[in-house]
Amino acid sequence: MKLAVLASGNGSNLQAIIDGTEKGEIDARVVLVISDKKDAYALERARKHRIEACYLDPKKYAGREDYDRAVISLIKERDVGLVILAGYMRLLSPVFISAFPGRIMNIHPSLLPSFPGLEGVGQALRYGVKVSGCTVHFVDENLDTGPVILQEAVPVYDNDTEESLHQRIHDVEHRLYPKAIQLFVKGKISLEGRKCIIHER
């Protein structure tokens, strides 16, 4: 299966996914990385692995839907089976969601539905929770509300900073995201309403 990754920043989850494909842990290959940020290190990661890297400047498009149509076109031209968000900081329009129904995946640094949106880690610390974690989910038209595929908890310590907690969550993300992608590639995820059923056998 061909994968496309949308990323706005450093791309550490992208790296984990690329590593997973190269090690044979994910039976797929990343064929395209798209960013809305010209200096996103994710693009450099892609180039290092000889993966097509595209920067699309949002300022050159009339609005969110026009921009998304350009991204959709690039993805569809490459016969991509799964679209992966890896630190992509743009909210996808309904146009984008409808182009790839049930085929867009995201990871979020909290145990959804708690602490959606920006600063999930900071929100958790300010709230004083004892457990946080990360969630891999399908993307729908609202922010961080799609069906949950996998979740894993991470303890929150009294002396945690946003940076220290985020790093522990990142470590889990880099393991959990490739696992979820492999489940999808192997056809082991089915949806019953909002519930993702994982077929391990």
Encode pLDDT of 32-82 as tens digits. Answer: 999 999 999 999 999 999 999 999 999 999 999 999 999 999 999 999 999
Query: What CATH homologous superfamily does 1-101 map to?
Result: Formyl transferase, N-terminal domain (3.40.50.170)
Cis peptide before 58 (omega within 30 of 0): no
Query: Which residues on neighbouring strands pair with residue 135, listed in sequence order?
Result: 108, 151
Tokens of 46: 């892609």
Query: Confidence band (pLDDT; 50, 70, 90) for 128?
Result: very high
> Strand, helix or coil at 116?
coil
Kindly list the domain boundaries of the chain, sorted by start residue.
1-101, 106-201
**Can 199 be counted among the known catalytic residues?**
no
Helix (H) or strand (E) holding 195: strand 195-198
CATH architecture of 106-201: 3-Layer(aba) Sandwich (3.40)
**Mean pLDDT, all residues of the chain:** 97
Q: CA 7 to CA 155: how far, in whole Å?
A: 27
Asked if 1-101 and 106-201 have one fold, the answer is yes
Does the pLDDT of residue 201 top 80, yes or no? Answer: no
- Quick: pLDDT tens for 152-164: 999 999 999 999 9
Q: What is the mean pLDDT of residues 179-184?
A: 98
Annotated catalytic residue: which of 49, 108, 166, 170? 108
Name residues whose C-beta falls within 8 Å of residue 107's C-beta, 6 or more positions apart in sequence: 13, 85, 86, 134, 135, 136, 137, 173, 176, 177, 180
